[in-house]
């Protein structure tokens, strides 16, 4: 009976789809980046920031680099 079951996408997105997606709005990235920079300005290190945000220190580093790279490329496109 179950051998004829197939998955058919309805084309709708759920919260679970976002887990596997690299789609993040620039606004969300900027908010995360600003939070990280604020915490750095308060004297926290990457590990402490990660603990506060529920991330590893390497994820914090990746988020910083990702935002700066996207910001740089959007600046180049506008010039």
Q: For residue range 3-56, list pLDDT tens digits in order.
A: 777 766 666 666 566 555 556 678 888 999 999 999 999 999 999 999 999 999
The whole-number pLDDT of residue 25 equals 78
Residues 11, 22: Cα–Cα separation, whole Å: 17
How many alpha carbons fall within 13 Å on the CB side of residue 60? 21
Angle at 12 between CA 10 and CA 16, to 5 degrees: 115
Decide: 49 and 39 in contact? Cβ < 8 Å. yes
Q: How confident is the model at residue 71 (pLDDT cuts 50, 70, 90)?
A: confident
- Report domain extents, the chain: 25-79
DSSP code of residue 41: H
Question: Is the pLDDT confidence value at 2 over 80?
Answer: no
């Amino acid at each position: 009976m179950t051998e004829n079951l197939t998955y058919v996408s309805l084309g709708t997105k759920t919260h679970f789809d976002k887990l596997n997606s690299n789609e993040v709005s620039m606004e969300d990235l900027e908010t995360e980046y600003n939070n990280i920079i604020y915490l750095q300005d308060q004297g926290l290190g990457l590990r402490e920031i990660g603990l506060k945000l529920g991330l590893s220190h390497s994820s914090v580093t990746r988020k910083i680099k990702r935002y700066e790279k996207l910001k740089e490329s959007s600046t180049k496109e506008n010039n």
